Structure 1
Amino acid sequence: MSIDLRLQEKAKAIRLLIMDVDGVLTDGRIFYNAEGIEAEAFFVRDGFGLRMAKQAELLTAILTGRTSGAVTHRAKELGISEVHQGALNKLEVYEMLLHRHGLTDEAAAYIGDDLNDLPVLNRVGLSAAPADAAAEVRAQVVYVTTQAGGRGAVREVIDLILKAQGRWEQFVET
């Protein structure tokens, strides 16, 4: 089976998409003003992709080691109810998500960019990393996006999944 067919088969089986935040949903930079208030930037097309995923009944979840009010706000805006921040053991939270939704590893996808994402990336059915992820991560995932973190990587993975599942056409019909 060719790599493209293998990737398509993996994407077709996905029911849950889990994403890291820093370096995946954002470009990894954190801004602080003079008062120490934090701000992060999110890419609009990633957000639109997450809305498409929801419309296509794909479950979505955020799994991040940091805690940020900006992430809480963005997740609420996008209707992502599974938000797990401050997760020191991402694999433990991942296993809880699978159990909660009655899914297997093959039905889950994860997008991560750094070494702390590897335990989950090595378990999921479809592992993905942004183009600018750590080299060690890019070497171990099934799919490396052409887009960078915070610049369309999440949207690219969602598009891949929706196309593999035959759900893409509903979004491009005029």
Structure 2
Amino acid sequence: MLVLDVDGVLTDGRITFVGATCEDPQEIKSFHVRDGLAVKWAGRMGIVTAIITARRSSAVERRAREMEVRHLTMGAEAKLSALYRLSEQEGIPLQDIAYVGDDLPDLGPMAAVGLPIAVADAAAEVKAAAAYVTERVGGDGAVREIVELLLEAQGKWRDVVEGNRGEP
């Protein structure tokens, strides 16, 4: 299973609010197209995909649908508890889960999984807790980098590449 944070992992961490009132602001988030394609490919190649984020956002909800994410957990103040629920629900042991984070609230889930990953611009403490630190920063292809590595390790990346060449 591949579990992702949103702000700082799938985005560069910036949040822009628009709207007439503070009670009903709309959020604008920017997502890298290659990260989205990679998440979709991961799911199609048999990797269970999930998002756990502390924020609630219609933009994230829409993007998760576009990426065909199997599990979306928003408003998760306790990310570790959300991770335990996902692990149990899918029957996937924690040691078989990769979790990608960027900031201190991600430390709990990262300590619990078999493959903790930090994006290149993550907080120093998060990088120190990671088994792998991406070369790319959050929101700029870091997730694509991770998915490519995971699929290469499973011997499936070539299938993704060939599947995108078109019909023979």
Secondary structure, aligned partner of 1:110:
strand
Secondary structure, aligned partner of 1:147:
coil
Match of 1:11 in 2: none
Asked if 1:80 corresponds to 2:49, the answer is: no
Match of 2:118 among 117, 122, 129: 129
Match of 2:15 among 30, 43, 62: 30
* Aligned CA-pair RMSD: 1.0
Share of identical aligned residues, percent? 47
Structure 1 unaligned residues grouped into runs of 5+: 1-15
Cα shift at 1:34: 5.0
Deviations 1:77-122 (A, max 9, x none): 1111300001011111100001001111121000000001001001
Match of 2:136 in 1: 147
Secondary structure, aligned partner of 2:156:
coil
Q: How does 1:55-70 map to 2 (within 5 A)?
A: 55-70=44-59
Cα shift at 1:57: 1.1
Q: How does 1:37-56 map to 2 (within 5 A)?
A: 37-56=26-45
Deviations 1:53-88 (A, max 9, x none): 011011000000111110001111111130000101
Q: Which amino acid is 2:125 matched to?
A: E
Cα distance in 2 for residues equivalent to 1:34 and 1:136:
35
Match of 2:80 in 1: 91
Scaled by the length of structure 1, what TM-score is found? 0.88
Match of 1:164 in 2: 153
Scaled by the length of structure 2, what TM-score is found? 0.91
Cα distance in 2 for residues equivalent to 1:73 and 1:55:
19
Secondary structure, aligned partner of 2:112:
coil
Asked if 1:18 corresponds to 2:18, the answer is: no
**CA contact 2:49–2:69 (8 Å) conserved in 1:** yes
Cα distance in 2 for residues equivalent to 1:149 and 1:49:
14
Q: Which amino acid is 2:135 matched to?
A: T
Secondary structure, aligned partner of 2:85:
helix
Higher relative contact order (CA 8 A, sep 6+): 1
**How many residue pairs align between the two structures?**
159
**CA contact 2:117–2:134 (8 Å) conserved in 1:** yes
Cα distance in 1 for residues equivalent to 2:43 and 2:26:
31
Secondary structure, aligned partner of 2:49:
strand
